[in-house]
Structure 1
Amino acid sequence: MLIIFGGLPGSGKTTTARALAARMEGVYVRVDTIEQAIRRSDVLKGEVGPAGYVVAYSVAEDNLSLGRTVVADSVNSIQITRDAWLDVAKRCNVPAVEIEVICSDKAEHRRRAETRPTDIEGLVKPTWQETVAREYDDWGGRAIVVDTAARGVDEIVADLVVQLRRHGLRDI
């Protein structure tokens, strides 16, 4: 199965995706990590652009073809990136589940975005203004929506496991 996480920076997406991947012993693929590795390689002289996503799709496809469950972690703010993840699942003939992570408490979301430390060397996190100004396409009701404002990660992951079982995931 391909589990596709998305959400604005600071929403709790990485914390939730990592915890779910650990619980399932799934392969965790994070676009931020890939993009920062590309920057550090000093191969690209400009913006990373879609390169990080394209690499992530390939890594996910390799692991799905080996029969592994993949948890993909990226902002996925535009429809084209979400559709590309779904195409990966289709090519591998595996189910895909989209999970949009939100933080409905705007003050808490801002606090997280402004105070969270970076866990990737050299990664510059977006400012709050950059976060709220980001282009963000509606998910069209097709995703499981997880609100991290008032619930802990363990509770959220337990709920996600139940929902993912309904979508065909076994052995968690």
Structure 2
Amino acid sequence: MPRDLSQDVAKVEAALLPQEMASTAHPVLIVMSGLPGSGKSYLSQRLADQLSAVIIEADRVRKTLFPRPTYDAQESALVHRTCQEVMRRLLRKGVRVVFDATNLVEFQREILYSLAERCDAGLLIVRTVAPEQTVRERLEHRREAAEAASDADWRVYRRMSRRQQKISRTHLCIDTSDDIDEAVRKVMRAVRRCGRA
């Protein structure tokens, strides 16, 4: 029996969205892109705090829908469709959204570009990077942390690094091993430039 997208969306909204969300006349979709351990989630949290934005974290959505995920193509497609619908609803309400996912493949990002356009939302793409040694240490630390949403390890990082595609749109590239406060300021300046802060 096929899954009901509306039920999956309702489940995610009930489990992961805050009770109160700030809205604005100028919503923005910040699309994070980067390999596991590159600092996407930490930077996403910092940005959400600064912007009063809601984070849609693909790993948490996956674990909400699939407590024992298989990471197969069908499951991943459903997770992304659910994320897209939740984000569409939020952007239509004027909520600023940070989409925390690897977003490594351009055709998947194109769906997000179109989503922002259809919702009349600003769009900012942020690619996160970090030196491999830093990534290895982060992934090892994450593996030891029971509350981590991501199951990615070094092997997954290496496999995904071969699939990463060039971003076709103007975007920021943030090395998260550098000063994170300056990185947040850089992203905030970009949000203001697109008239959305």
Percent of aligned pairs sharing the same letter: 23
Equivalent residue for 1:130, pick from 146, 156, 170: 156
Distance (Å, rounded) in 1 between the aligned partners of 2:108 and 2:54 = 19
Distance (Å, rounded) in 2 between the aligned partners of 1:60 and 1:158 = 24
Q: Which segments of 5 or more consecutive residues in structure 2 lack a partner in the other structure?
A: 1-27
Q: Which segments of 5 or more consecutive residues in structure 1 lack a partner in the other structure?
A: none
What's the offset of the Cα at 1:140?
3.5
Q: Which stretches of structure 1, 4 residues or more, deviate above 4 A after TM superposition?
A: none
2:125 corresponds in structure 1 to: 98
Q: Quick check: 1:50 aligned with 2:77?
A: yes
Single out whichever of 78-87 and 137-146 deviates more from structure 2.
Answer: 137-146
What's the offset of the Cα at 1:49?
2.1
Distance (Å, rounded) in 2 between the aligned partners of 1:163 and 1:129 = 34
Equivalent residue for 1:84, pick from 95, 106, 111: 111
Q: Quick check: 1:63 aligned with 2:87?
A: no
What's the offset of the Cα at 1:90?
1.3
What's the offset of the Cα at 1:124?
5.5
Is residue 106–residue 168 contact of structure 2 (8 Å, CA) maintained in 1?
no
Is residue 118–residue 125 contact of structure 1 (8 Å, CA) maintained in 2?
no
- Number of residue equivalences: 164
Pick closer, same or farther for the CA change 1:109–1:93 going to 2, 3 Å: same
1:108 corresponds in structure 2 to: 134
Q: Quick check: 1:142 aligned with 2:170?
A: yes
1:20 corresponds in structure 2 to: 47
What's the offset of the Cα at 1:137?
1.0
Distance (Å, rounded) in 2 between the aligned partners of 1:150 and 1:45 = 34
2:13 corresponds in structure 1 to: none
Distance (Å, rounded) in 2 between the aligned partners of 1:10 and 1:119 = 15
1:72 corresponds in structure 2 to: 99
Is residue 38–residue 176 contact of structure 2 (8 Å, CA) maintained in 1?
yes
* SS of residue matched to 1:62: helix
Is residue 113–residue 127 contact of structure 1 (8 Å, CA) maintained in 2?
yes
* SS of residue matched to 2:185: helix
Distance (Å, rounded) in 1 between the aligned partners of 2:150 and 2:171 = 28
Is residue 18–residue 28 contact of structure 1 (8 Å, CA) maintained in 2?
yes
Distance (Å, rounded) in 2 between the aligned partners of 1:115 and 1:49 = 25
1:155 corresponds in structure 2 to: 182
What's the offset of the Cα at 1:110?
1.4
After TM superposition, the score normalised by the length of structure 2 is: 0.76
Letter in 2 for 1:151: D
Is residue 59–residue 150 contact of structure 2 (8 Å, CA) maintained in 1?
no
What's the offset of the Cα at 1:46?
7.8
Letter in 2 for 1:167: C
Letter in 2 for 1:81: Q
